[in-house]
DNA sequence: GCCGTTTTCGGCCCGACTGTTTTCAGTCG
């Protein structure tokens, strides 16, 4: 049983309990546990088998520890089976409609026997919903609208796409007079791989002007709310954008608050309470008295903490680090010296070898590896040994005439379905850098996938594993692989794991990267560029690395190539 | 359900906005 499966079970329990109107703190305990386990760096199943004390995990007490054990050992949980019998799964979907929480959803189920979204739609159209106590005409409309938008509004967008929106929004708002300070917060500011909505924070004395300007942003389809300090719009693409206008003395507190994460804020506010203080988006208060909040630094300082970089604010280890003065000095884009994964038009890339080299040089890179696909990747016109050697001869010639950048002879060799690699060892032995990646047979069972990856890690010519989990954000979760085994093998054979910077991949993700670091495994951040513009994506990878708490030292391509060579045992 | 230099019970972050009310519950972030 994977951590994700255990997390999902607890989340489902939380959903049902919430629907049933259980103690909200009990619900939260399940949600917290779900989150903690989902983010956990080690295999919970393994911990159980080792007989470790699970209550040492923050947020796991006697009860939940017992439930985890039951889940791992029997594959199911009697409590969850019972709960499922009480509330049909389709009923829980009601709570996913914006505006419908547990109370209203329960009322619909109880009073009108509404069991799924189709019945909800019919009831709204028959105007049965507005007759319920606490419901009205507007609620009915909101539900109908929510039903038609449900799929769209739940979709999260890549961070890279959110960045485009954010930059366009800031540019639009800068035309508005009287704005003193402005920042986009939320999961965007935390650099999360996908973003659900945008939060814009503004300091201005003319709230009405700011809100009018905000409403005029291109693509605004609907104003969902407009109050004295807060306004919410939905763009025609379904993206929701929140605006808050606050006074200057609250800017730091509001930015802190709107950056989140929610979990981070709960911890922070609990900390304030311990000190007899109160933190809200308006500032830090002792009783009624404002004592600070102009900057984020001020907010953290009043709680005896150094400023914490937004990327770390997930209520994972950041408070521990902050208290002991151990916040890592996070890697920056400027630290990157080389890019060790990219393609040319010899396979499925768009640019020639020369064009890629020129673009990389322009970016200030000191070295790059050309890593086209091997022959198994027929769709991409993958290279066999002979074609690859011809490309390498080209690279030799290129290195003779191009100065200021070193071009390495590399390959992205396919890890075959039956195990083993797609190129002979004598070919691989001539490469400077070998990325081994798994592209086919992604639906194989866990044991088989893991075995294939371990086989690649054992090959002496392999330098790194490319996009180690195969996930595609919002599309597929990645193949079923025993990452602990992969980490152990990478450590044993002194291999590197990739953080693929493609905004749709970001693989390894932040949590896995942090776990790899714990295991002492070096990470390479690579663009996997298929065009010259693809080289720009490095910043998405660096952002994800920052979320993992990685420093310059943890990432191999911050070193000169000679340093990388030593690491992979080449002369 | 978790947690503890105000410990084994009684807390658990805080506020804005809307709609349905006529002072507030529910939802959201």
Contact between residue A379 and residue A421 where contact means Cβ atoms under 8 Å apart: no
The nucleotide minimizing the C1' distance to residue A285's CA is B14
Q: In terms of domains, do A70 and A169 share one?
A: no
Q: How confident is the model at residue A269 (pLDDT cuts 50, 70, 90)?
A: very high
- Distance, in Å, from the CA atom of A415 to the CA atom of A441, rounded to the nearest integer, reads 10
Nucleotide closest to A242 measured between CA and C1':
B29
Residues A182 and A170 sit within 8 Å (Cβ to Cβ) = yes
Q: Are A253 and A237 in contact (CB under 8 A)?
A: no
CA of residue A142 to C1' of nucleotide B17, angstroms: 15
Average pLDDT, integer, range A218-237: 91
Environment class of A201 (CB within 10 Å of its CB; exposed 0-12, middle 13-18, buried 19+) = buried
Round and report the angstrom distance from CA (A534) to C1' (B9).
Answer: 58
pLDDT for the residue numbered A153: 58
Domain count, chain A: 4
CA distance A4 to A152: 24
Same domain, residue pair A377 and A303: no
Burial of A148 (0-12, 13-18, 19+ CB in 10 A): exposed
pLDDT at position A159 is 96
Biggest distance spanned by C-alpha atoms of chain A: 81
Verify that A362 and A470 share a domain, yes or no.
Answer: yes
Q: Which nucleotide is nearest to A30 (CA to C1')?
A: B1
Closest nucleotide to A63's CA, by C1' atom?
Answer: B1
Q: Residue A24's domain is classified under what CATH number?
A: 1.10.150.110
**A253, exposed or middle or buried, with CB in 10 Å at 0-12, 13-18, 19+?**
buried
Q: Are residues A536 and A459 in the same domain?
A: yes
- pLDDT tens digit sequence for A231-247: 999 988 889 999 999 99
A480 and A390 share one domain: yes
Q: Mean pLDDT throughout A152-173? A: 89
Report, as an integer, the average pLDDT of A349-358.
95
Is the pLDDT reported for residue A156 higher than 90? no
Confidence at residue A571, expressed as pLDDT on a 0 to 100 scale = 61
Beta-strand ranges (E) seen in A323-405 are: 338-339, 367-370
- The whole-number Å distance from A310's CA to B9's C1' is 36
CATH code of the domain containing A231: 3.30.460.10
Q: Which nucleotide is nearest to A269 (CA to C1')?
A: B13
- Specify which residue's alpha carbon is closest to the C1' of nucleotide B28: A99
The order of strands in the sheet holding A289-292 is: A278-280, A283-286, A289-292
Where among A130, A154, A178 does a domain terminate?
Answer: A154
What is the residue whose two structure tokens read 């991949």? A505
* Percent of chain A topping pLDDT 90: 78
Q: Tokens 């010296």, residue? A: A337
Averaged pLDDT of chain A: 93
Nucleotide nearest to A141 (CA to C1'): B19
What the block records as the tokens of A554 is: 């943890």
A117 and A94 Cβ atoms separated by less than 8 Å:
yes
pLDDT in tens, A171-199: 999 999 989 999 999 999 999 999 999 99
Q: What is the predicted pLDDT for the residue at A152?
A: 63
Nearest nucleotide from residue A197 CA, by C1' atom: B29
Of A291, A323, A355, the one marking the end of a domain is: A323
Q: How far is the CA of A457 from the C1' of B13 (A)?
A: 47
Q: How far is the CA of A511 from the C1' of B25 (A)?
A: 38
User: Could you tell me the two tokens for A213?
Assistant: 């300007």
The residue whose CA lies nearest the C1' of nucleotide B17 is: A227
Identify the CATH number of the domain in which residue A262 sits: 3.30.210.10
Same domain, A229 and A353: no
**Which residues lie across from A338 on neighbouring strands?**
A367
Reported as type and span, the H/E element at residue A464 is: strand A464-465
Please check whether residue A328 lies inside any domain of the structure.
no
> Helix, strand or coil for residue A472?
strand
DSSP conformation letters of A96-118? GSTT--HHHHHHHHHHH---SHH
Nucleotide nearest to A60 (CA to C1'): B2
Residue A416 sits in the same domain as residue A532: yes
Taking 70 as the threshold, does the pLDDT of residue A328 lie above it? yes
Q: Given the DSSP bridges, would you call strands A179-184 and A406-414 parallel, antiparallel or unpaired?
A: unpaired
Whole-number Å distance, CA A61 to C1' B8? 14
Rounded distance in angstroms from the CA atom of residue A397 to the C1' atom of nucleotide B12: 68
A403 with A456, same domain: the answer is yes
CB-CB contact of A415 with A434 (8 Å): no
Greatest mean pLDDT among A71-75, A347-351, A367-371, A563-567: A367-371
Distance A36 CA to B1 C1' (A): 14
Q: What is the pLDDT of residue A313?
A: 96
Note the pLDDT tens digit of each residue in A130-155.
999 889 888 998 888 888 776 665 67
Domain that holds residue A261: 250-323
For range A193-213, the mean pLDDT: 94
Looking at the structure, tell me whether residues A429 and A523 fall in a common domain. yes
Strand B footprint nucleotides (protein C-beta < 7 Å): 1-3, 11-21, 25-29
Residue A525's CATH number: 3.20.20.140
pLDDT tens-digit series, residues A15-59: 999 999 888 889 989 998 998 888 887 889 999 999 999 998 888
CA to C1' distance (Å), from A10 to B26: 24
* Same-domain pairing of A167 and A108: no
Is there a domain that residue A104 lies in?
Answer: yes
Nearest residue (CA) to C1' of B18: A225
Residues in CB range of A37: below 8 A, 6 or more apart: A3, A6, A7, A10, A44, A57, A68
- Could you tell me the pLDDT band of residue A548, with boundaries at 50, 70 and 90? very high
**CA A228, CA A448: separation in Å to the nearest integer?**
58
Q: Are residues A358 and A486 in the same domain?
A: yes
* Least confident stretch, A152-166, A169-183, A296-310, A453-467: A152-166
Protein A125 CA to nucleic acid B26 C1', in Å?
22
Domain limit, last residue, from A229, A246, A263: A246
Query: Quick one: A79 and A217 in the same domain?
Result: no
Question: ω before A508 within 30° of 0 (cis)?
Answer: yes
């Amino acid at each position: 049983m994977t951590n994700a499966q255990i997390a999902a079970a607890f989340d489902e329990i939380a959903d049902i309990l919430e629907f049933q109107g259980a103690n909200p703190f009990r619900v939260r305990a399940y949600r917290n546990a779900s989150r903690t386990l989902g983010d956990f760096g080690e295999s919970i199943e393994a911990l159980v088998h080792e007989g470790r004390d699970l209550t040492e995990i923050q947020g796991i007490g006697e009860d939940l520890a017992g439930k985890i054990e039951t889940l791992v050992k029997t594959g199911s949980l009697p409590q969850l089976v019972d709960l499922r019998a009480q509330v049909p799964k389709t009923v829980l979907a009601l709570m996913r409609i914006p505006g419908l929480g547990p109370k209203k959803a329960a009322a619909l189920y109880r009073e009108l026997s509404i069991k799924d979204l189709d019945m909800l739609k019919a009831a709204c159209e028959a105007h049965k919903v507005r007759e319920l106590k606490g419901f009205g005409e507007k609620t009915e409309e909101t539900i109908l609208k929510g039903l038609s938008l449900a799929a769209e509004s739940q979709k999260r967008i890549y961070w890279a796409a959110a960045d485009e929106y954010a930059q366009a929004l800031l540019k639009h708002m800068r035309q508005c007079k009287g704005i003193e300070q402005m920042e986009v917060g939320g999961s965007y500011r935390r650099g999360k791989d996908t973003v659900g909505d945008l939060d814009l924070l503004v300091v201005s004395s003319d709230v009405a002007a700011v809100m009018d300007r905000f409403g005029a942003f291109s693509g605004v389809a609907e104003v969902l709310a407009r109050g004295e300090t807060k306004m919410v719009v939905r763009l025609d693409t379904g993206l929701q954008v929140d605006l808050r206008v606050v006074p200057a003395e609250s800017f730091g507190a509001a930015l802190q608050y709107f950056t989140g994460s929610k979990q981070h804020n709960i911890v922070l506010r609990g900390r304030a309470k311990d000190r007899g203080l109160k933190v809200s988006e308006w500032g830090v208060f002792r009783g009624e008295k404002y004592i600070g909040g102009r900057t984020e630094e001020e907010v953290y300082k009043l709680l005896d903490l150094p400023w914490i970089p937004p990327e770390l604010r997930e209520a994972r280890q950041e408070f521990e680090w902050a208290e002991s003065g151990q916040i890592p000095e996070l890697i920056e884009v400027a630290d990157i010296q080389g890019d060790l994964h990219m393609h040319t038009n010899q396979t499925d890339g768009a640019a020639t070898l020369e064009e890629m080299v020129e673009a990389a040089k322009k970016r200030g890179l000191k070295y790059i590896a050309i890593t086209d696909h091997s022959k198994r990747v027929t769709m991409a016109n993958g290279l066999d040994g002979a074609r690859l050697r011809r490309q390498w001869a080209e690279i030799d010639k290129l290195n003779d005439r191009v100065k200021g950048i070193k071009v390495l002879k590399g390959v992205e060799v396919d890890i075959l379905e039956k195990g083993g690699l797609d190129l002979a060892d004598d070919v691989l032995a001539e490469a400077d850098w070998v990325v081994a990646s798994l592209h086919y047979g992604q639906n194989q069972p866990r044991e088989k996938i893991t075995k294939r990856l371990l086989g690649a890690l054992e090959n002496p010519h392999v330098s790194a594993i490319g996009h180690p989990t195969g996930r595609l954000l919002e599309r597929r979760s990645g193949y079923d692989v025993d990452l602990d085994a992969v980490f152990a093998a990478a450590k044993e054979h002194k291999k590197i794991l990739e953080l693929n910077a493609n905004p749709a991949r970001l693989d390894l993700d932040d949590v896995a990267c942090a776990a790899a670091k714990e295991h002492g495994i070096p990470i390479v951040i690579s663009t996997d560029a298929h065009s010259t513009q693809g080289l720009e994506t490095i910043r998405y990878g660096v952002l994800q690395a920052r979320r993992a708490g990685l420093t310059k030292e943890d990432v191999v391509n911050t070193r000169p190539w000679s340093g990388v060579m030593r690491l992979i045992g080449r002369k």
